[in-house]
């Protein structure tokens, strides 16, 4: 009998580590253990839930070299097809960047997200379905730990379903309040086929799981996570805020999004200017959720930072520099510290006209030796790019790595995102002063732009939030997902037309094109699952 793609290796990740302690690796493996063994002790159960964190930062070899868990989702699905992410020399990937693969159901790109998130869901279901069987011996501390573990597994299950809807379902605004196919709801570990649920039903499941997780976390306040990679109350609140604003079906959703975003960032103050310039390679005060990394536990050439970090010693980083959209960057003042994490005319003391003369108008490459020396001098307090690296206009100095070929922690949720999310919700609710104050907090109070003020209202205020969200979260995997949920048109300009995209990627994609920005259900699922097989009676 065939097995679902994502359940073929159930429990595979359970023995994996998210810790920096080598002792963790010496714990008895549960890779091939039965549920009875895994859930025979509370310590084994904790290993199981920590294995879910490992799924998010391991190479999924079934999908080859680049399939590195959540990092691959951020890089390939969130960044590449977005509005503000340019890799001028990487024209061979234009089909992915231009959303041409969305209806290729035999492509590994199409099936990767399906496989990856259902694998998380399936393993989470294994925990949810068995954690109550862990013996407590009457110890209330063990009972509390069981509650905490179950809450964590509920967060993973909710996150998996939510991410699947963003990839494989049409945007909420196009579905008549969710009255369209969503994805398969999986609440039990199973190899059996199942039908698609309505998108509204999937969101109900996501909301129910997260609310149950929040209630469970709040019932055991003394229980704390050990690692940043493990979900806790703030993570559950943040994901619920994301889900609410993505659905945004009513005023209640915006109110919930604002409330959850504010709660999630409590205790996670915005990082300092110095921390902002520290390469996003290790956790700062505002990291709510992220994946662990170390020299002895890394993904080699396939990590997020091995692809993107400006100092990674990889062929992708050296030869294909990653850039922000010129059009976006030019809208910000030169004293904004975030703008100066990208190579632009002002950091070289040049006018735009002077700068464009040294920029190759096809690839964006800068070959002028004086300009390269000036770039190195400006970023003298940062890592040195690997030998042989190209220099490209508007390339970033945001993401670095502390080990080679690309070792760095990977952020999943920051409090800055929650500030922007809360501002968006308040703006949609018509609470313009609240939204303005949140933008001032993010920009001026944090000293990212000490001169920032905001008096915009209504639609102009919303576009201000969109603009700052694009800058603040650049490269972190939000670009395409945001554009999709807002129903915005993708419109990139070539160098010759004042942008900085290669001609192959300088395209316009309307919201109703590219299958409404939706990946189709992969053949690897439909071929097995008779509920989705058109030939089934």
Residue 535 has pLDDT above 60, yes or no: no
Of 236, 269, 302, which residue is a domain's last? 269
* 269, 294, 329 - which closes a domain: 269
Question: Is 350 inside a domain boundary?
Answer: no
* Boundaries of domain holding 80: 27-269
Is 173 inside a domain boundary? yes
How confident is the model over 228-248, as pLDDT tens digits? 999 999 999 999 999 999 999
Total structural domains within the chain: 2
* Residue 537: pLDDT over 60: no
Q: Which residues pair with 324 in a beta bridge?
A: 85
DSSP tag of 12: G
Q: Centre a 10 Å sphere on the Cβ of residue 430 and count the other Cβ atoms it contains.
A: 12
Q: Tell me if 241 is assigned to some domain.
A: yes
Query: Which of the two residues, 298 and 128, has the higher pLDDT score?
Result: 128
- CA torsion sign, 375 to 381 to 383 to 387? positive
Per-residue confidence band for 132, with pLDDT thresholds at 50, 70 and 90: very high
User: Is 363 domain-assigned?
Assistant: no
The answer to whether 175 and 249 have CB atoms below 8 angstroms apart is no
What is the Cβ-side half-sphere exposure of residue 93, based on CA atoms within 13 angstroms? 18
Which tokens sit at 308? 């993107």
With bands split at pLDDT 50, 70 and 90, how would you rate the model's confidence at 295?
Answer: confident
Q: Assign 28 a pLDDT band (cuts: 50, 70, 90).
A: very low
- Interatomic CA distance for residues 283 and 271, integer angstroms: 10
Contact 422, 262 (CB under 8 A): yes
pLDDT over 50 at 33, yes or no: yes
**Any domain includes 353:** no
Residue 397 lies in a domain: no
Question: What is the DSSP code string of 442-475?
Answer: IIIITTSSTT------HHHHHHHHHHHHHHHTTT
Burial class (CB within 10 angstroms; exposed 0-12, middle 13-18, buried 19+) of 227: middle
In order, the DSSP letters of 479-499 are HHHHHHHHTPPEE--BGGGTS
Angle of helix 251-264 relative to helix 415-428, nearest 10 degrees? 150
Categorize the per-residue pLDDT at 29 as very low, low, confident or very high, splitting at 50, 70 and 90.
Answer: very low
Vertex 356: Cα angle to 351 and 358 (nearest 5): 105
d(CA 32, CA 177): 43
Per-residue pLDDT band at 294 (split at 50, 70, 90): confident
Give me the chain's average pLDDT, please: 92
For residue range 197-220, list pLDDT tens digits in order: 999 999 999 999 999 999 999 999
Domain boundary (240, 269, 298) is at 269
**Strand-strand pairing, 508-509 and 490-491:** antiparallel
pLDDT at residue 23, as a whole number: 25
Higher-scoring residue by pLDDT: 537, 348: 348
Tens of pLDDT, residues 489-531: 999 999 999 999 999 999 999 999 999 999 999 999 999 999 9
Q: Give the pLDDT confidence of 233-287 residue by residue, as tens digits.
A: 999 999 999 999 999 999 999 999 999 999 999 999 999 999 999 999 999 999 9
Residues paired with 33 in a beta bridge: none
The sign one gets for the Cα dihedral 319, 320, 324, 330 is: positive
State how far the Cα of 246 lies from the Cα of 257, in Å rounded to an integer.
9
298 pLDDT band, cuts 50/70/90, is confident
Could you give the CA distance from residue 314 to residue 311 in angstroms, rounded to a whole number? 9
Is residue 151 one of the residues assigned to a domain?
Answer: yes
275 part of a folded domain: no
pTM score of the predicted model: 0.94
> Could you report how far apart the first and last alpha carbons of the chain are, in Å?
19
Q: What is the pLDDT of residues 309-357, one digit of tens each?
A: 999 999 999 999 999 999 999 999 999 999 999 999 999 999 999 999 9
- Other beta carbons within 10 angstroms of residue 43's beta carbon come to 12
**Residue 50: CATH number of its domain:** 1.25.40.390
Average pLDDT, integer, range 180-201: 95
């Amino acid at each position: 009998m065939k097995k679902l793609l994502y359940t073929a290796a159930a429990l595979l990740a359970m023995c994996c580590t998210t810790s920096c302690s080598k002792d963790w690796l010496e714990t008895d493996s549960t890779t091939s253990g039965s549920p009875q063994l895994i859930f025979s002790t509370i310590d084994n159960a904790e290993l199981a839930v920590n294995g879910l964190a490992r799924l998010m930062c391991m190479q999924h070899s079934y999908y080859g070299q680049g399939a590195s868990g959540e990092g691959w989702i951020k890089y390939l699905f969130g960044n590449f097809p977005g509005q503000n992410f340019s890799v001028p020399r990487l024209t061979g990937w234009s089909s992915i960047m231009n959303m041409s693969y969305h209806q290729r159901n035999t492509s590994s790109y199409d099936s990767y997200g399906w496989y990856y998130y259902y694998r998380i869901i399936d393993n989470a279901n294994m925990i949810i379905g068995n954690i109550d069987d862990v013996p407590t011996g009457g110890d209330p501390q063990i009972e509390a730990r069981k509650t905490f573990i179950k809450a964590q597994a509920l967060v993973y299950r909710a996150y998996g379903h939510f991410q699947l809807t963003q990839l494989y379902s049409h945007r909420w605004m196009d579905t008549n309040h969710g009255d369209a196919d969503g994805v398969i709801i999986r609440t039990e570990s199973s190899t059996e086929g199942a039908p698609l649920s309505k998108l509204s039903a999937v969101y109900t499941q996501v909301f129910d799981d997260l609310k149950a997780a929040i209630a469970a976390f709040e019932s055991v306040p003394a229980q704390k996570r050990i690692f940043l990679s493990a979900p806790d109350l703030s993570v559950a609140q943040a994901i619920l805020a994301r889900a609410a604003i993505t659905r945004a079906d009513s005023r209640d959703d915006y109110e919930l999004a604002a409330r959850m975003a504010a709660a999630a960032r409590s205790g996670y103050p915005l990082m300092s200017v110095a921390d902002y310039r520290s390469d996003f390679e290790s956790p700062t005060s505002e990291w709510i959720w992220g994946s662990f990394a170390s020299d002895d536990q890394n993904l080699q050439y396939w990590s997020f930072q091995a692809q993107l970090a400006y100092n990674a010693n990889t062929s992708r980083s050296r030869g294909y520099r990653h850039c922000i959209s010129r059009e976006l960057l030019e809208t910000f003042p030169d004293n904004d510290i975030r703008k100066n994490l990208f190579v632009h005319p002002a950091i070289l003391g040049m006018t735009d006209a002077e700068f464009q003369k040294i920029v190759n108008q096809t690839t964006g490459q800068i070959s002028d030796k004086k300009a390269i020396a000036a770039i190195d001098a400006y970023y003298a307090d940062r890592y040195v790019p690997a030998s042989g690296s190209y220099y490209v206009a508007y390339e970033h100095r945001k993401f670095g790595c502390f080990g080679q070929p690309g070792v760095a922690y990977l952020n999943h949720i920051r409090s800055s995102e929650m500030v922007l999310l809360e501002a968006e919700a308040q703006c949609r609710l018509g609470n313009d002063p609240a939204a303005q104050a949140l933008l001032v907090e993010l920009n001026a109070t944090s000293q990212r732009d000490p001169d920032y003020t905001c008096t915009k209202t209504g639609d102009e205020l919303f576009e201000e939030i969109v603009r700052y969200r694009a800058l603040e979260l650049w490269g972190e995997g939000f670009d395409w997902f945001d554009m999709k949920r807002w129903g915005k048109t993708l419109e990139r300009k070539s160098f010759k037309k004042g942008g900085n995209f290669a001609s192959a990627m300088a395209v316009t994609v309307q919201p109703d094109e590219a299958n409404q920005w939706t990946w189709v259900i992969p053949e690897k699922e439909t071929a097995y699952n008779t509920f989705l097989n058109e030939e089934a009676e």
